[in-house]
C-alpha cells in the first residue's frame, strides 16, 4: 500500500514536470497576443476619394490622389499628414482629370506627377514641385489633354518620370524622361507604351508598365536602364 502511494506521487510529479515543459515551449512557439493598440488605425477621417501615392517629405506624410478633401479640409488632390491632422499644400491642383498619381522627393522639393494643368495657381502641366510654401513648374510639362505622369523616382542625381506621354518640356520622350534640374531629356528611345512604376535596383533603374519594347530591346512589361 505504501509502495503504491509512492508510485502515485511519482506519477503526479512527473506529469507536473511534463506539463510545465510543454507550457514553456508553447510560450516560445506562440508569443502572447500584442497589447491593445496594435494593428490598423485611421489617419483622422481620411480622404473622401482614392489615394494613389504616398511619400515622406519634411517629416510629414504626403498623400496624392483623386480626393478633393482630407480630414474634412479642402486640399485638391494632395495633402500633408503631420501625425494628428491633415492640411493642404497651397491650393493644390486643378484642371483636366485632376489627380495626383505619383509623389517623390528630389533636390529638397516634393515632386507631384499626375493629370492636372495648374498647381497652386501656377501653370504646371502634369508635374510640379512643392518647395514648402509654393508650387512651381518643371519646364513646360506635358502638352496633351490626356497625358499624365504615373511614376517618379530619383536616379543618378536626376528625377525620372514615367507615364503616358510622348513629349515633355517640348522634348520628344516616349513614356519616360529625365529632369536634369532645368530641362527634360529622353532615356534612349524610351518604351512603346506607358510606364506605370519605377524603382532602383542593383544600381539600375527599373521601369514597369504596359510596354513590349524598351529602346530597341524586346521586353515583357518590365525593363532595366543603366548609365
Q: Does residue 23 have a pLDDT over 50?
A: no
Distances (CA, A) of 205 to 152, 161, 189, 193, 226: 11, 11, 15, 17, 6
Distances (CA, A) of 17 to 11, 12, 25: 10, 9, 13
User: Tell me, what's the pLDDT at 166?
Assistant: 97
- Identify the CA nearest to 87 among candidates 76, 100, 103, 98: 76
List of residues 6+ apart from 76 with CB closer than 8 A: 68, 88, 91, 92, 93, 94, 98
Separation CA 152–CA 212 (nearest Å): 20
The structural domains of the chain, with segments of one domain joined by +, span 1-28, 51-225
- Identify the CA nearest to 139 among candidates 93, 177, 181, 103: 181
**Residue 222's pLDDT band (cuts 50, 70, 90):** very high
Q: What is the DSSP letter of 206?
A: E
30-85 pLDDT, tens digit per residue, is: 455 555 578 999 999 999 999 999 999 999 999 999 999 999 999 999 999 999 99
78-128 pLDDT, tens digit per residue, is: 999 999 999 999 999 998 788 999 999 999 999 999 999 999 999 999 999
pLDDT: which is higher, 4 or 15: 4
Per-residue b or e along 117-133, where b marks 16 or more CB atoms closer than 10 Å to that residue's CB: bbbbeeebbbbbbbeee
pLDDT: which is higher, 14 or 183: 183
List of residues 6+ apart from 103 with CB closer than 8 A: 53, 54, 55, 57, 62, 63, 64, 78, 110, 111, 112, 113, 152
User: Tell me, what's the pLDDT at 11?
Assistant: 43
Q: What pTM does this model have?
A: 0.84
Q: Which residues pair with 153 in a beta bridge?
A: 160
Q: Does residue 10 have a pLDDT over 60?
A: no
Mean pLDDT of the chain: 88
Class of domain 51-225: mainly beta
∠ CA 49-51-52 to the nearest 5 degrees? 135
Q: What is the enclosing helix (H) or strand (E) of 128? A: strand 127-130
Amino acid at each position: 500500500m505504501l509502495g503504491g502511494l509512492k508510485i502515485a506521487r511519482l506519477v503526479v510529479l512527473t506529469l507536473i514536470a511534463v506539463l510545465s515543459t510543454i507550457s514553456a515551449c508553447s510560450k516560445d512557439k506562440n508569443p502572447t497576443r500584442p497589447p491593445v493598440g496594435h494593428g490598423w488605425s485611421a489617419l483622422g477621417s481620411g480622404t473622401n476619394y482614392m489615394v494613389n501615392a504616398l511619400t515622406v517629405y519634411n517629416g510629414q506624410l504626403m498623400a496624392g490622389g483623386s480626393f478633393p478633401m482630407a480630414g474634412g479640409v479642402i486640399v485638391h488632390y494632395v495633402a500633408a499628414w503631420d501625425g494628428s491632422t491633415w492640411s493642404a499644400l497651397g491650393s493644390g491642383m486643378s484642371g483636366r482629370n485632376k489627380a495626383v498619381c505619383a509623389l517623390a522627393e528630389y533636390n529638397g522639393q516634393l515632386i507631384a506627377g499626375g493629370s492636372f494643368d495648374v498647381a497652386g495657381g501656377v501653370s504646371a502641366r502634369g508635374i510640379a514641385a512643392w518647395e514648402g510654401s509654393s508650387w512651381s513648374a518643371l519646364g513646360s510639362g506635358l502638352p496633351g489633354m490626356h497625358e499624365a505622369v504615373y511614376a517618379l523616382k530619383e536616379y543618378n542625381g536626376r528625377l525620372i518620370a514615367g507615364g503616358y506621354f510622348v513629349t515633355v518640356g517640348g522634348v520628344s520622350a516616349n513614356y519616360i524622361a529625365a529632369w536634369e534640374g532645368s530641362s527634360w531629356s529622353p532615356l534612349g528611345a524610351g518604351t512603346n507604351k506607358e510606364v506605370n512604376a519605377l524603382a532602383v535596383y542593383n544600381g539600375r533603374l527599373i521601369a514597369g508598365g504596359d510596354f513590349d519594347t524598351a529602346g530597341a530591346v524586346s521586353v515583357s512589361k518590365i525593363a532595366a536602364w543603366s548609365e
